[in-house]
Structure 1
Amino acid sequence: MPSPPFPPPDSAVLRVIVHNAVESVHSGEASIEEAILHAAVHGWYEGHIQGEDECPGCDFRGKLPKPGPSS
């Protein structure tokens, strides 16, 4: 099973992202390359959000400092 920053294959959000990419190509709004790039960026972003929600204390994203509460 994929782990963040990759959304799971059965994700409803991922289905919407892929559907929108396909529709944008069919309508002529985007080229195939543009649609793939758009879907990849948004899929990665959604996976990142899911990873933060599921494991807020994890540091699998490296040793960069995590943003803390504002003082």
Structure 2
Amino acid sequence: MRDRLCSKVACSREAVATLTYDYGDQMAVIGPLGRVDDPHAHDLCAIHTDRLSVPRGWVVVRHETLRV
């Protein structure tokens, strides 16, 4: 299986999270890397996941995985 890369321009880091938008609800959802590459989602590396910003008034929902 080929590693998926960050969707940000000029970033060649490995993707660790998947970002999706719900424009109607003004919401950005970021969670664990999706199982498949979805053309309607954006894969992000750890750095870009941490630096995520959204328009004023939007909500960011972060789904974290539990580490045992």
Give the TM-score range, shorter chain.
under 0.3
Under a length normalisation based on structure 1, what TM-score does the superposition of the two structures give?
A: 0.22
Structure of larger gyration radius? 1
